Amino acid sequence: MANIKYYTEDHIPLEMHKVRIIQKLHLLPIEDRLKSLNDSGYNTFLLKNRDVFLDMLTDSGVNAMSDRQQAAMLVADDSYAGSETFYRLEQKLTEIFKTKLFLPVHQGRAAENIINRTLIKPGDTVLMNYHFTTSKSHVTVNGGLVEELISDAGIEEESELLFKGDMDIGKLNEAISRLGADKIPYVRIEVGTNLIGGQPVSIQNMREVSAICKQHNIISLLDASLLADNLHFIKQREEEFKTKSIPEITEAIAELFDLIYFSARKLGYGRGGGIITNSQQLFDQMKELVPLYEGFMTYGGMSVREMEALTIGLDETMDEDMINQGPEFIAFMAEELLKRKIPIITPPGGLGCHLNAMKFLDHVPRGEYRAGALAASLYLASGVRGMERGTVSEDRNPDGSDHLANMELLRLALPRRVFTMSQVKYAVDRIAWLYDNRHLVGGLRFVEEPKVLRFFLGRLEAVSDWPQKLLEKFRADFGDSL
């Protein structure tokens, strides 16, 4: 827990905002939660939100907007072409990232679609520190392959390594030598590596990767969707930048990359997304695809109201007191779970707290989807919806076998400025109860399985009657409690 800043003696982080708008929540009885699990095919993505108490599925598009963002939405210039709103957003991106050119899109995967349609040729290989689900799929559907070059220490579940998202430089050099630079359309760095626990990347590592790309004339690409958390960790953990401002750190990152794209559903607490660059050549290659797949060049699939909110949200991302809220809440939750000896990914990263399903449910066979079973059992025990980040989130191998994930995680996202401390403590309490009764939890198997991105729409079922046994134990322990 080194270098995490707390504001009270008992390590409770202090919210630097006040709540002025609320939304009523509902906590269903456990019997109704079991029915919802069955109806949703034991896939938390398919749960109806009205059946969820605390929605920790993701931070994508569900962060709370500020009063300034809400107010900005009222002054949007609602024009199809040439909207002043677009130019305000473009100016803000130039101010923050020092880039000249901006392509608007409706979210991050739309940016991935345009980038990969432009740059990938069949037989190409994209090198990444680690893949994200949609980033990998967009490469493969365009005929490319993905190689992950995360360091071996990056996928250790419990570690003291402060930048587990760093790319292994030795692996990068070897891959370029083996494949040839002409077969590598770009090297992608994802800051805040999602699938290994929201782990940050150091600027030192980005510098080394950027220099190698320049040496071999390979495009360097940054997925900045989780940049806000990564900025916080760089300021806290990287000695060179402890006295630098958040805008200064952002500029130091941006100057290292030829292309940057982002999902504004994460970055900027809004909706939409974009591609930014200083390369006129890359811009011209991609721009014709925006009207084809997204919309006209001055809205790109976003509503102008979203764009106004994003402009303010990007400005707020440069405020240290805003971007530290997520990581500090996550660190608090992680510390409370560690006190109870519950296995989690350490050090805690960004985006959310990540339970280590590999150890939590070590009695469940790997082929029965430990992380998926943990997600289902936690919802049953608490009404908390998390997201499976393990083998269910992988596509099958060409021979039809499961591609076993490096990690089996249950991500409990903490959307920014959404949850109260009592709600975080409730989640910890129910996780602790589930851990004490983990022997009751069994595995899952697919009954409906899409070929691509199966974790979104696939349906599963319990391999035994373990959900009913868990329900009966809950009733024995808590009586009439929800």
Lowest mean pLDDT among 8-12, 160-164, 185-189, 230-234: 8-12
Position 121 pLDDT exceeds 70:
yes
What do you get for the CA distance between the two ends of the chain, in Å? Answer: 33
Say which of 85, 99, 133, 250 is annotated catalytic.
Answer: 133
Helix/strand/coil (H/E/C) assignment for every residue in the chain: CCCCCCCCCCCCCCCCCCCCCCCCCCCCCHHHHHHHHHHCCCCHHHCCHHHCCEECCCCCCCCCCCHHHHHHHHHCCCCCCCCHHHHHHHHHHHHHHCCCEEEEECCHHHHHHHHHHHHCCCCCEEEECCCCHHHHHHHHHCCCEEEECECHHHHCCECCCCCCCCECHHHHHHHHHHHCHHHCCEEEEECCEHHHCCECCCHHHHHHHHHHHHHHCCEEEEECCCHHHHHHHHHHHCHHHCCCCHHHHHHHHHCCCCEEEEECCCCCCCCCEEEEECCHHHHHHHHCHHHHHCCCCCCCCCCHHHHHHHHHHHHHHCCHHHHCHHHHHHHHHHHHHHHCCCCECECCCCCEEEEEHHHHCCCCCHHHCHHHHHHHHHHHHHCEECEEECHHHCCCCCCCCCCCCCCCEEEEECCCCCCCHHHHHHHHHHHHHHHHCHHHCCCEEEEECCCCCHHHHCEEEECCCHHHHHHHHHHHHHCCCC
Active site residue 266: yes
Say which of 97, 132, 329, 360 is annotated catalytic.
Answer: 132
Active site residue 329: no
Active site residue 455: yes
Per residue in 32-79, pLDDT (tens digit) is: 999 999 999 999 999 999 999 999 999 888 889 999 999 999 999 999
Position 203 pLDDT exceeds 60:
yes
Per residue in 397-426, pLDDT (tens digit) is: 999 999 999 999 999 999 988 999 999 999
Determine contact, residues 291/256, Cβ cutoff 8 Å. no
Overall residue count recorded for the chain in this entry: 482
Question: Distance (Å, rounded) from C-alpha 458 to C-alpha 442?
Answer: 18
Distances (CA, A) of 184 to 51, 123, 278, 376: 45, 9, 21, 39
Position 214 pLDDT exceeds 50:
yes
Q: What percent of the chain has pLDDT over 70?
A: 98
Active site residue 133: yes
Position 81 pLDDT exceeds 90:
yes
Question: Distance (Å, rounded) from C-alpha 35 to C-alpha 65?
Answer: 33
Say which of 7, 39, 67, 80 is annotated catalytic.
Answer: 80
User: Average pLDDT for residues 10-27, to the nearest whole number?
Assistant: 85
Give the per-residue pLDDT at 9.
Answer: 60
Sorting pLDDT into bands at 50, 70 and 90, what band is 100? very high
- What contacts 24+ positions apart, CB below 8 Å, involve 28-36? 28/53, 28/383, 28/482, 29/482, 30/380, 30/381, 30/471, 30/474, 30/475, 30/482, 31/471, 33/379, 33/380, 33/383, 34/380, 34/467, 34/468, 34/471, 36/379
Give the per-residue pLDDT at 240.
Answer: 97
pTM comes to 0.92
Position 4 pLDDT exceeds 50:
no
Say which of 136, 265, 389, 438 is annotated catalytic.
Answer: 389
Position 2 pLDDT exceeds 50:
no
Active site residue 389: yes
Distances (CA, A) of 441 to 174, 332, 377: 43, 27, 7
Per residue in 253-280, pLDDT (tens digit) is: 999 999 999 999 999 998 999 999 999 9
Tracing tokens 């060049």 back to the chain, one arrives at 297
Position 12 pLDDT exceeds 90:
no
- What contacts 24+ positions apart, CB below 8 Å, involve 166-172? 166/129, 166/201, 166/202, 166/205, 167/128, 167/129, 167/201, 167/205, 167/209, 169/205, 169/208, 169/209, 169/212, 172/127, 172/209, 172/212
Say which of 109, 164, 266, 305 is annotated catalytic.
Answer: 266
Instruction: Report CA torsion sign: 230, 232, 236, 242.
Output: positive
Give the per-residue pLDDT at 3.
Answer: 46
